[in-house]
Copies of this chain bind each other. A is one copy, B any other.
């Protein structure tokens, strides 16, 4: 049952962190939720930070997977849509991390380094896609505009859920859909007419679901 309890602690912690915010969840809350003793929890993890670090490992795997672009060919608009979906859903599943991002990272040099690396990889992936679209003639953007757009997309993915939360939005799925639409609208002005039209069709279809 060791593996089991350990995993249950991680699952319950993630759920509680996401629901109430990491600063508002104590190790006692987690133990209570699972109906185990605090001592038992501390048998499996050194401390709360240790739990967070293990959750982060799962997050990092998820986000790395979500950042994998189709190899050997240029992504089309549908591909991009899918990638955004994967990214936003990962962010959503680990939203506790983003909710108090600066504070959580400030406590751990390790997480700080890993997150910086994730941002860097995300930035590179997005930049590659944009450059590819420009070269394929689908998109028109100066080098500076391409850079700014990449930054902008990353910023939106990273903080969209916080923005939605602060505005008072509660509906999880709606938040994600709006985030994706927001990113798509950012790149729309850079697209050639045909693709721009295509994008708006996709957007309407998506909105209707």
Contact partner of A116 among B99, B168, B186, CB < 8 A? Answer: B168
Cβ contact within 8 Å between B155 and A160 = yes
Tell me whether A166 and B23 are in contact in the complex, defined as CB-CB below 8 angstroms, given that A100-B102, A102-B100 are known contacts.
Answer: no
Report Cα–Cα, A40/B102, bound state, in Å. Answer: 31
Is A56 interfacial (CB-CB < 8 Å)? no
Tell me whether A189 and B99 are in contact in the complex, defined as CB-CB below 8 angstroms, given that A163-B155, A166-B105, A168-B116 are known contacts.
Answer: no
Q: A105: shortest Cβ distance to chain B, in Å?
A: 6
Number of contacting residues on A, CB 8 A? 42
Secondary structure of the A contact surface, majority rule: helix
Residues of chain B with a CB closer than 8 A to A158's CB: 159, 163, 166
Residues of chain B with a CB closer than 8 A to A154's CB: 163
Tell me how many chains of this kind the complex includes.
2
Stretch at the interface among A8-16, A63-71, A74-82, A140-148: A140-148
Show the binding face of A for B, using Cβ within 8 Å: 21, 23-24, 99-103, 105-106, 112, 115-116, 119, 141, 144-145, 147-149, 151-152, 154-156, 158-160, 162-163, 165-168, 181-182, 185-186, 188-190, 200
Taking A24-B106, A99-B103, A112-B168 as known contacts, 5 extra A-B pairs with beta carbons closer than 8 A to each other, sorted by chain A number, are A23-B23, A99-B102, A105-B166, A144-B185, A155-B160
List, sorted by A's number, 17 A–B pairs whose CB atoms are closer than 8 Å. Answer: A21-B103, A101-B166, A115-B166, A119-B166, A141-B189, A144-B200, A145-B185, A147-B185, A148-B186, A152-B186, A154-B163, A155-B155, A155-B156, A158-B166, A159-B163, A186-B186, A189-B190
